[in-house]
Amino acid sequence: MAQTKLLLIFQESKGRRCVIILKNRCRAIKECYLDCRRIKKMVDYLGRFPLPVEVVPYGSLQLFKRFEALGYKPSFRERDGERYLTDSKNYIIDLDVYPIKDPIAFGEKIKGMTGVVEQGLFTNMTDIVLVGTPDGVVVKQF
């Protein structure tokens, strides 16, 4: 990568996701996704915070019980004493599942359950991670 020029185009103001265009000597251009973060945000395992799972209201109680049986410690997200509704009129069930040792497999398992609309693990979305450390930037490529 020593011969590569990096052109960064930030897509979000938070800097979490941005597009990087790699241009090498051959003038071939490749687009990939870049994740920018500080060293404090790097963890060995995901799951220290509740994992949000968006579920359709119909059958959500059965799905909640299934999560309980699997040991995921579910809780319905609430606002003002009522179950929180997303813009799509779905519920959010937060799962306490630390540690998530295989986020890809876990996300696929949750997403494959009947009634699940989406889950909060965003895997396989980044090609490069730039990590800010006290000693400078560390580049991790996948």
Q: Give the model's confidence band at 27: pLDDT under 50 very low, under 70 low, under 90 confident, else very high.
A: very low
pTM for the complete prediction? 0.69
- pLDDT at 9 (0 to 100): 38
Please give the helix or strand (H or E) that residue 15 lies within, else none. none
Tell me what pLDDT residue 98 has.
87
**pLDDT at position 17 over 80:** no
Please tell me which residue, 58 or 47, carries the higher pLDDT value.
58
Separation of CA 14 from chain center: 15
Burial label, 91 (beta-carbon count in 10 A; 0-12, 13-18, 19+): buried
Mean pLDDT of the chain: 75
Closest CA to 113 of 76, 75, 78, 64: 64
